[in-house]
Structures are given as structure tokens and as C-alpha cells.
Amino acid sequence: MIRKVTIAAQAALLASTGLVSAETLNWARAGDSLTLDPHAQNEGPTHALAHQIYEPLLIRDMTGQMVPALATEWGPNADDPNVWTFKLREGVTYHDGAAFDSEDVLFSLERAQSEDSDMKELLNSIKEVRAPDASTIEIETDGPNPILANNLTNLFIMDKGWAEANDVVKVQDFEGGEETFASRNANGTGPYKLTSRAPDSLTELEAFDGYWGKGEFPLEITKIKYTPIKNAATRVAALLSGEVDFIQDVPVQDLGRVDADENLKVIKAPQNRVIFFGLNLGDDDLTTDDVEGANPFADKRVRQAMNMAINREAIMKVVMRDQSIPAGVAMPPFVNGWTEALDTIPSNDIEAAKALVAEAGYGDGFTVTLHCPNDRYINDEAICQAAVGMMAQIGITVNLDAKPKAQHFPQINNLETDFYMLGWGVPTYDSEYIFNFLVHTKTENRGSWNGTRYSNPDIDAKIVSLASETDLAKRDATIAEIWAAVQDEILYLPIHHQVLNWGMSNKVETVVDPEDVPKFKYFTLN
Amino acid sequence: MISYIVKRALQSVLVLLAVGFVAFGMFRFIGDPIDNMLGQERTDADIERLREILGLNDPFLVQYWNFLKGALQGDMGVSFRQGRPALDIILDRLPATLELAMVSATFAMVVGIFLGIYTAINRKGPITNFILTTSLIGVSLPTFLIGILLIYLFAVELKWLPSFGRGDVVPVGDWWTTGLLTASGLKSLILPAITLGLYQMTLIMRLVRSEMSEVLRQDYIRFARARGLKERAINFRHAVKNTLIPVITVAGLQIGSIIAFSIITETVFQWPGVGLLFIDSVQFVDIPVMASYLMMISVMFVGINFIVDMAYLAIDPRLRGGKGGN
């Protein structure tokens, strides 16, 4: 009897002490960082790890606000809007003790613009970077770029001396085939330094004693152990058993299970990602439909009807278990240009939708194929299955073709799909980013994700003008005009904004980062 | 005899080439790695540039040929996902898989033979019935379900064993790492080893049971009994020895499948071995790593079969004739 009690007590103790010691945080998410080279991959989990070790000039805090990091002040020059001046923080050192100065910024920006860099698209407006003195950086752009700072929040600064000493001046490339020193080692100015790393298995970080932000941020976590756990059930089990304290990517069906545990909690917030359907409205004929010689999607009434037929409330309740926010516009709510009016969801009026389809001459219905990923977004395939039923209500027979993302996305890119699902996050928090990729005519440098075949020279000209419009009020007006056109054309059928769920031990206190990037220096412990 | 060996060796090489051929033919249908590699801000120009660099625009025969040329020089290509040589990544991850495979094979052999002997000697009775029924359930459930059930019971509810990973590992020699020398490493091995070995254990148990029942009916056992030998001596000195010959043949061949089929167990337990690596590579369309993994597995199977053939040759004089085997 006594023994039983002891075991129970031990179990209770184990359960209550989620944290091994008061300061170690065991962190798990589905995937691992692909490389430690901060400019080699522009990808979520890779940036998430880099944000603990390296720092950009400015970052977004956990609420999405832009705040100073290695720069203390920034802004375009009053006399010349083509030049931005950044005042750098003084007294900052790297993990190896080297001092940070403007040479490093100069070097890092050049490195990030080089051919093998994955970050170069974000910097393509930069003409020249200058360092007038050790604590000042001037960036000259091709024309005025009012949102230059927004593009720098994931642009990490490396030590020039360290890069030269370790032969990693060039970004890791796939051509040469050699693994570089920078892809497995790191030397940043960030709050945590790397102590060990086994890719796809375990990465250990330790608080950096010489961090400039001591006293400014909580920095209560002193050690981080990061393990990717691919299988969702195992990830949740590891949290339930107390082996990890903090997980990202909690599957919606397990939210209740985690929340019900008295030592755990789930916190959520809207994610910077909207999910929507795209339609081929530009071609004369569709390849996947059964209508000969005509493109039903080219008729605005059909698109309108489809937009009305999608029952967003039902998708939220049944497919997403309330973990989504129905959307009326293909733009996350944080983004500059978003208004409540744009995001109003269309009424789900089946009769009116049917009438519109009949008016367009498709009263007898037609058949079309919907392409959908099955491993990219939360419940992506299930959403598409629901949409198949909803389209059937207005006489459109949809054949669902769900595939892994590695097969799905090339179809959009190669214009091989007429009806597809896509999700979009906006790292710059500005509408221009959406327009550049999703609305502009598909050309070599713009519109690369525009699978709709939509092409409107007027709109294209407006989109291009955004890049250099310094009068922000005028710029916002142009953004509103473009959105009005996109909504009027029903270029995309928005479904919902994804909701992020983080599961954690009760000991951990944080808010959810809208870009799914935990920045542990802001975390506090109870 | 030498011609037989040469013939067998040539056949093995042909099998390897065919595996590579089929693999490269299939890779085109897995998808396109470019989007995974470039991130969402890529332009069409970037896509074209990278496709050209990686040789993805080449017909698959050319891609296969380039891979073979590299492979002969020990260069299996560079991982699209991690940017490291594919061979290095596989060698990094191999100890974890081999260790898990060895432990589960040992578990399957020891427990399987023991239970097989027990159920053969005690043909009826509640314990035998219990063992046979549970093993049937165990072999009918899919591996991932067994893994999840074990995790739920021993990690979430009882909190005795870890639910994922390999625990602490220590390096042995240049590239081998082992979890067998640390407490957390050993604890981490238990659940995945049982999950992976359960099917083989049941197989061996049933094989031993039927072989042994057969042997126990043989004349020499009856004579031994008539001579008044002790049951224990009959069972263990005479019967078991004759039972084990076919069992060892089967068990040896099963080790190959344990390594090859550790994929699911490794995914469920986040075991950092080559199986998990393969799944990650398929999702990313990391062609060099997928190709290297498939080659490694086929080399292993071809190797095992070659050795088995040679062993038969040593045992069976009929194969040594001029005409060779068929």
C-alpha cells in the first residue's frame, strides 16, 4: 500500500514538474530547421531557430509590432526618400566575443543579396549599402521604398570576421555540394547561443551572458532543448507525459485533450495565413472541365455563385472545430490594407447562387477538378472535401484531386490546374506583397504564384507604383483601389484565416506569435 | 563453381542497377523539390535557374546516369533538404537504426524462441492460450497503432518510459554513436524495440512452436522417452537443437526486413534513424537522399541473399556441378 502511494506521488511529482529544472525549456514542433546558415533558406522553422541565435536590425515582437533589435532608430532621410538611415546599437558583441559594427551589417546585406541567398527577393529594391561610420548604415534604394524596414525583419546579421575566418563568406549553395561551416555552426548576437546540434534530432541552446538586452527582456529561460517530433500523436504524447514543455502545431483533434490536462494549456491566436481557392478565369477553355469551347470560370456570375456556395461557418464548425476565422478577403487581418468591410463573408445563399449559375448558362451544371494539397495546411484535404459537397448544391460536380504539397504546388506554378487551394502568409504585413505574388500578371519577376491567369495592365501598373510611392496616404488609397478590383472580379474565393495553437506547460507564459515564430527572450516562467 | 559465383555476383549487380532505374523512374512522380527549396518569395526565373543547376530538367535516364557516375566514385550527391552530402547524412543516422534493429531482433529471437518452446511443450492450458491469442492480436494490429498504444500506456499514463527520441547517446569510435551505455538511452530503446520486433517475435514463436511439435512426434524422441530420459533432457538437449536450424535461417533473413521496415516505428517514436530520414526525404522530394537510402537497402538485401546463396553452395554439393543452379 505504501509503495503504491509512493509511485502515485512520484507520478504526480513528475506530472507537476514539467520543467526539468526551473529554467530549461523543452521545445518540440513538427519540423527542424533546415540549416543554420541564416541566408540559405527563407522558411518558417529555419527562421524560428535563427531568431534565438541571430538578430536582424529590427524584429517583430510576439504581437507583430516592429521593434528595435540591432538598430535603434531607422527611417528614410527627410531630404532624400531613396536613402534610409539606420542607427546601430552600440556595445553589442557576438557569442564569440567579437564586437558588432556597421561592417557586419554591410557584409550581411551583401551576402543576403548574393545569388545563392534565399533572401535576395526581399532586398531587390536595394541599390547600395553604405557605412558612413561604425554605428550608422545607409541603404539606398532604386526608388523610394516606403516598406524597406518590413523586409528586414528576418534578415540576420553575421560577423564579418567570423565568416571570413571560417570560409563562409558565400551562402551555402547546392551547386558546390559542400556543407559549409555556417550551416552547422552559428555565431550571432542573439539571446541564446548554440551549444550542440544534431539535425532532425536535438538542438541545444544556452542563454548568452553578454546579451545586450539583459534587463530589457524577461530572458527567464536559460536553456532550450529543441526536438522536432514529426508524428502529431507522438508530439502531443510528449507534452502530456511532461517530456516537453512547449509544442507548436497541436493537431485540432487533440486540443481538447491537452486543454483538459490540469498541468497544460493551449493558447491560440489568428495566424498570419489565409486559405483560399484560386480559379482559372483567364483561359478560353479549361482542361479539367466537361464544357467544350468555353470557360465557365470566365463568367463572373459563376465565380460569384461559387463564392456564395461556400459555407464558411460550416467549414469552421465541422472541419476546423472552431479553429479558424471565416474570411471574405484573401488577406490576413494584420496586413496593411485590411478592412473589416473587405473581410465580410458573402452570404451563403444557395438559391441565389443557383440562379446566377443558370443565368450564366450552366443551369445543367458542369464538372471540374479541384486540386488540393494534403500535407500543407491545417485539414487542407478535409476543407476541399467539404467544398465538393457545397459546389454540388449549385450543380457543379467537383472531382477532388488531393496530393502532397511537392506535387500540388508545381501544378499552380506550371498553370496545370483550373481550380486549386492555396494559403498565403504575409511576412511584410503589407498588401503589396500579396499583389506582387498573387494578383500581378504572371511574368518572370512578378505574379509567380498567380495561377488565375488574371492579367490587367491597369492593375499591374498600380501594383508596380506601390513600390516607390512615398506618400503613404496615397499609397494606401491605391492599395484600396486594387483590393476593390480584386474583390469585384472575385479573383479568389477566400475560405478562412488559420488559427495557431500552441500547447504548453502551465509554467510557461507567452502570447502566440502570428507568424508561428516563438522568440524565447520574451517568454516568462511562473 | 567459380562460374556459379561470378554468375551470382553479376545477377546481384543487375538487381542493384534495376532498383536504381525503377527508383529514378518513380522520383518524377513524387513531386518537385524546387518549391520546398526556394520558399514562397521565389520568382519563375529562380525556379528555372535552380532546376538547371540541379539537373532536374534532364530526362530521368540522364539523371540516373549522373547519379551512377557519382556513386561509383563514392559521391551520392548533396541533400536538397540539408545541403550536406547524402552519404554523410545516412552514415550519421545509420547507428540509430542498426542499434534499434539489433535490439529488436534480439528481443524477437529470445522471447520468440522461449515462448515457442513453452507453447510447444505445454500444448494446452490457459497460459498457452493467452500467449497465442495476444500474439495474434499483436500481429494483426498495424505497427503505428501498437506504437501509439505503447506510448499512451507507458509514457502518458504511467510515465515510466520516454515517448520519443533516442535519449542521451555517447560516441564510440569515429562515427558510431550508441544509446546502449546510458540509462536514458536504454529506456528510450524499450518501446520502439518492442514495437518493431513484435511481428518478428510472433513469427518466430509460431515457427518454433510448429517445428518443435513436429520434432516431438519424431521416432527418436519417442525412443528417448522409452529409454527413460528425463523430459527436460529430451526437450532441451534433443528437440530444441533440431528445431532451431530452420528458425535461424528465417531469422537471419528477417533482420534485413527489420532494418528496411523500421520506417514506421521510427516515425512514431521520432527515432533519429535512416527510416525517419527517408520519410522526411520523400516529403521534401530530396532525391539524392532517397536514392542513397534505396541503394543502401538494396545492397543490404542483395548482400544477404548472396551470402545465403554461397552458404547453400557450401552445404549442397548438387549446386557445385557444371550446370549451376537455376
- Identify the CA nearest to B114 among candidates B236, B199, B218, B222: B236
Specify whether B38 is located in the same domain as B137: no
Position of cell 477553355?
Answer: A285
pLDDT value of residue A178: 62
Using DSSP's 3-state secondary structure scheme, residue B126 falls into helix
Q: Grid coordinates representing B192?
A: 520502439
Domain CATH code at residue B273: 1.10.3720.10
| A to B CB pairs, distance under 8 Å | 156
Name the band, by pLDDT with cuts 50, 70 and 90, for residue A6.
very low
Examine residue A406 and state whether it is found in any structural domain, yes or no: yes
Q: Which residues contact B33 (CB under 8 A, 6 or more apart)?
A: A406, B54, B56, B80, B284, B285, B286, B287
Name the band, by pLDDT with cuts 50, 70 and 90, for residue A175.
low
Specify whether A279 is located in the same domain as A238: no
A174·B80 Cβ contact <8 A: yes
Domain that holds residue B296: 1-81+286-326
**Dihedral over Cα of A316, A318, A322, A324: its sign:** negative
Shortest Cα distance, chain B CAs vs residue A444, angstroms: 5
- Identify the CA nearest to A430 among candidates A123, A151, A74: A151
Q: Which residues contact B223 (CB under 8 A, 6 or more apart)?
A: none
- Identify the CA nearest to A251 among candidates A237, A236, A264, A271: A236
Domain count, chain A: 2
B164·A121 Cβ contact <8 A: no
Domain CATH code at residue A292: 3.10.105.10
Query: Among A419-428, A505-514, A517-526, B212-221, whose mean pLDDT is lowest?
Result: B212-221
Q: How far is CA B222 from the centre of its chain?
A: 40
Residue of A200, A237, A444 with shortest CB distance to B43: A444
Residue of higher predicted confidence among A406 and A212 = A212
Name the band, by pLDDT with cuts 50, 70 and 90, for residue A441.
very high
**A7 — contact with chain B (CB < 8 Å)?**
no
pLDDT, mean of each 10-residue run, chain B (326 residues): 84 90 84 81 82 85 88 86 87 92 92 91 89 85 90 92 90 85 92 92 90 88 86 82 78 79 91 92 90 90 82 72 48
A437·B41 Cβ contact <8 A: yes
Specify whether B215 is located in the same domain as B94: yes
- Side-chain half-sphere exposure of B99, counting CA atoms within 13 A: 24
Name the band, by pLDDT with cuts 50, 70 and 90, for residue A369.
very high
A231 contacts on B by Cβ (under 8 Å): 267-268, 270
Using DSSP's 3-state secondary structure scheme, residue A133 falls into strand
**Is residue A1's pLDDT more than 80?**
no
Distance CA A17, CA A507 (A): 9
pLDDT value of residue B325: 42
A406·B148 Cβ contact <8 A: no
A233·B151 Cβ contact <8 A: yes
Could you tell me which chain B residue has the CA closest to the CA of A228? B270
Examine residue A175 and state whether it is found in any structural domain, yes or no: yes
Specify whether B191 is located in the same domain as B232: yes
Q: Which residues contact A19 (CB under 8 A, 6 or more apart)?
A: A25, A26, A245, A505, A507, A525
B85 contacts on A by Cβ (under 8 Å): 177, 179
Domain that holds residue A172: 3-248+507-525
B39·A448 Cβ contact <8 A: no
Query: Among A5-14, A96-105, A141-150, whose mean pLDDT is lowest?
Result: A5-14
Specify whether A471 is located in the same domain as A489: yes
B276 contacts on A by Cβ (under 8 Å): 200, 230
Residue of A199, A233, A424 with shortest CB distance to B148: A233
Specify whether A44 is located in the same domain as A187: yes
Examine residue A141 and state whether it is found in any structural domain, yes or no: yes
pLDDT value of residue A9: 46
Report the share of chain A in percent with pLDDT over 70: 95
Please say whether the beta carbons of A432 and A147 come within 8 A: yes
**A444 — contact with chain B (CB < 8 Å)?**
yes
Give the pTM. 0.85
Domain count, chain B: 2
Domain CATH code at residue A512: 3.40.190.10
Task: Tell me the pLDDT tens digit for each residue of A309-350.
Answer: 999 999 999 999 889 999 999 999 989 999 999 999 999 999
pLDDT value of residue A42: 84
Specify whether B96 is located in the same domain as B66: no
What is the arithmetic mean of pLDDT over A253-281?
92
Q: For A93, which DSSP code?
A: B
Task: Tell me the pLDDT tens digit for each residue of A344-363.
Answer: 999 999 999 999 999 999 99
**Dihedral over Cα of A450, A453, A459, A465: its sign:** positive
Specify whether B123 is located in the same domain as B158: yes
A34·B82 Cβ contact <8 A: yes
Name the band, by pLDDT with cuts 50, 70 and 90, for residue A22.
low
pLDDT value of residue A361: 92
Specify whether B296 is located in the same domain as B278: no
Could you tell me which chain A residue has the CA closest to the CA of B265? A231
Name the band, by pLDDT with cuts 50, 70 and 90, for residue A216.
very high
Task: Label each residue of A282-301 as H, E or C.
Answer: CCCCCCCCCCCCCCHHHCHH
Decide the pairing of beta strands A246-247 and A66-68.
unpaired
What is the arithmetic mean of pLDDT over A374-386?
93
Domain boundary among B249, B264, B283: B283
Q: What is the phi/psi pair of residue B323, to 5°?
A: -80, -20
Please say whether the beta carbons of A450 and A437 come within 8 A: yes
pLDDT value of residue B313: 76
**Is residue A7's pLDDT more than 70?**
no
Residue of B75, B166, B285 with shortest CB distance to A406: B285
Cα-Cα end-to-end distance for chain A: 34
A413·B84 Cβ contact <8 A: no
**Is residue A10's pLDDT more than 50?**
no
Examine residue A258 and state whether it is found in any structural domain, yes or no: no
Nearest 5°: the CA angle B19, B24, B28 is 145
Domain boundary among B250, B267, B283: B283
Please say whether the beta carbons of B275 and B104 come within 8 A: no
Specify whether A459 is located in the same domain as A519: no
Residues of A numbered 312-371 whose beta carbons fall under 8 angstroms of chain B's beta carbons: which are they? none
Could you tell me which chain A residue has the CA closest to the CA of B80? A174
Q: How far is CA B262 from the centre of its chain?
A: 6
Cβ atoms within 10 Å of A342's Cβ, excluding its own: 19
Shortest Cα distance, chain A CAs vs residue B48, angstroms: 10
Specify whether A312 is located in the same domain as A240: no
Specify whether B13 is located in the same domain as B137: no
Amino acid at B112: G
Position of cell 468555353?
Answer: A294
Amino acid at A70: L
- Identify the CA nearest to B168 among candidates B152, B187, B155, B154: B187
A141-166 per-residue burial string, b: 16 or more CB within 10 A, e: under 16: beebbbbbbbbbbbbbbbbbbbbeee
**A457 — contact with chain B (CB < 8 Å)?**
no
Specify whether B227 is located in the same domain as B146: yes
